[in-house]
Amino acid sequence: MIGPDKIAKMMKRVFIGYKCSMLPDLVTAAGKMKSTLKNASVKWASPLYWHITSHFIGKAGNEEIEILKAILREVVSGTEPFTVNVQGIGFFPNADHPRVLWSGVSPVDKLSKLYYRTGALLRREGFETDKRPYSPHITLARIKHCNDPGVTKDIESSYKEHIFGTLDINEIILYESRLSPEGAKYIPLARYPLAGHS
Domain count, the chain: 1
Q: Could you confirm whether 55 is annotated as catalytic?
A: no
Q: What is the DSSP string of 63-119?
A: HHHHHHHHHHHHHHTTPPPEEEEEEEEEEEE-SSSEEEEEEEEE--HHHHHHHHHHH
- The answer as to whether 105 is a domain residue is yes
pTM: 0.91
Structural domain that includes position 114: 4-193
Residue 198 lies in a domain: no
Q: In CATH, what number is assigned to the domain containing residue 15?
A: 3.90.1140.10
Whether 162 is catalytic is no
The pLDDT of residue 198: 45
Catalytic residue among 137, 145, 162, 197: 137
Residue-wise pLDDT tens digits, 133-171: 999 999 999 999 998 889 999 999 999 989 999 999 999
Residue 29 domain-assigned (yes or no): yes
103 forms beta bridges with 89, 138
